[in-house]
Amino acid sequence: MTSPLLESDLALARVLLAGPGPALVLTGAGISAESGVPTFRGAGGLWRRHRPEDLATPEAFARDPRLVWEWYEGRRTALRGCNPNPGHIALARWMLSRPDITLVTQNVDRLHEQAGEQVGADDARTHPVRLHGTIDQNRCTACEYVAEHPGPSDTSSQATLPRCPQCGSLLRPDVVWFGEMLPEAAVTRATETAQCATVCLVVGTAGAVYPAAGFAKIVYRKGGALIVVDPGDTAFDPIATVKLRGEAGRVLPELLRAGGVEVSVSST
């Protein structure tokens, strides 16, 4: 647990977030950490135990699709028991309170969407722009086929791996691997938002991966404020207007209920 937040930092961050102009929220693995989803680079992080080049590149998949499938099946199974934490919930409520907040995530879980459902609004207002895809979907390695992951797959041999119902080629998780292009529509939306946002709230990302980290930096370069919520050090700290050093599940509810007025939610 990190030390208590400074009231002055919280107050400044609230003022910045309440200012006029659109807001960009950039989230990373850290926002899901308190839901039990491992991060990548911190203590217990996935990339501390595995090499990304063995599991999260097109070359790794071409070399050993069974190993990659098995790893993603393990992550999917682990995710099945995870629920949104108070950080996701606070963010979802805040997003419903204003029309000009765009949430951009690097996470492949669906915890932002589930938080939206829990606060009574399963609609686009709480859905993130996904930079790195969705682990619950598969897509074909050869054609345009994309579908929800139907459930546990037999990854015991290459012959049993899921195949495309349209063309018979191997399916793969619908996530972005190192060395691959990000979905164009997501990048366009994130770039457009970053260029006009007056404030950027960065939550739980080390800032080591581009272009994701670059969207927060665009806001900064355009003169916008940067608020960083993270218990550890991040690449954004040197340019942060305010650093709120703490866990998302503790800081976000405190930060986003400015003046003790909890945003009321009405379902549509």
Binding site for ligand OAD (CB under 6 A): 28-31, 33-34, 39-42, 45, 52, 56, 106, 132, 176, 178, 204-206, 208-209, 230-232, 234, 247-248
120 binds, among ligand OAD, Zn ion, none (CB under 5 to 8 A by kind): none
Q: Assess 171 for contact with Zn ion (CB under 5 A).
A: no
Nearer to Zn ion, 172 or 250 (CB): 172
Q: Which of residues 21, 166, 221, 262 is near Zn ion by CB under 5 A?
A: 166
Helix 7-18, helix 248-256: angle, nearest 10: 60
Nearer to ligand OAD, 31 or 103 (CB): 31
Residue closest to ligand OAD (Cβ): 30
Nearer to Zn ion, 6 or 167 (CB): 167
Active-site residue identified among 88, 112, 132, 149: 132
Query: From the CB of 151, what's the least distance to ligand OAD, in Å?
Result: 23
Nearer to ligand OAD, 182 or 196 (CB): 182
Q: Assess 62 for contact with Zn ion (CB under 5 A).
A: no
Six token digits for residue 200: 């950027």
- Give every CB contact of residue 41 below 8 A, 6+ residues apart in sequence: 47, 48, 206, 208
| Range in contact with Zn ion (rule: CB under 5 A) among 47-55, 129-137, 139-147, 176-184 | 139-147
Query: From the CB of 204, what's the least distance to ligand OAD, in Å?
Result: 3
112 tagged catalytic = no
Half-sphere exposure of residue 9: CA atoms within 13 angstroms, side-chain side: 16
167 binds, among ligand OAD, Zn ion, none (CB under 5 to 8 A by kind): Zn ion
Nearer to ligand OAD, 45 or 183 (CB): 45
164 binds, among ligand OAD, Zn ion, none (CB under 5 to 8 A by kind): Zn ion
Q: Assess 188 for contact with Zn ion (CB under 5 A).
A: no
Query: From the CB of 72, what's the least distance to Zn ion, in Å?
Result: 18
Query: From the CB of 170, what's the least distance to Zn ion, in Å?
Result: 9
Q: How would you write the chain as a 3-class SS string? A: CCCCCCHHHHHHHHHHHHCCCCEEEEECCHHHHCCCCCCCCCCCCHHHHCCHHHHCCHHHHHHCHHHHHHHHHHHHHHHHCCCCCHHHHHHHHHHHHCCCEEEEECCCCCHHHHHHHHCCCCCHHHCCEECCEEEEEEEECCCCCEEECCCCCCCCCHHHCCECCCCCCEEEEEECCCCCCCCHHHHHHHHHHHHHCCEEEEECCCCCCCCHHHHHHHHHHCCCEEEEECCCCCCCHHHCCEEECCCHHHHHHHHHCHHHCCCCCCCC
Q: Match 């003790």 to its residue by tokens.
A: 260
Indicate which residues carry an active-site annotation: 132
Note the residues at the interface with Zn ion (CB under 5 A): 140, 142-143, 145, 164, 166-167, 169
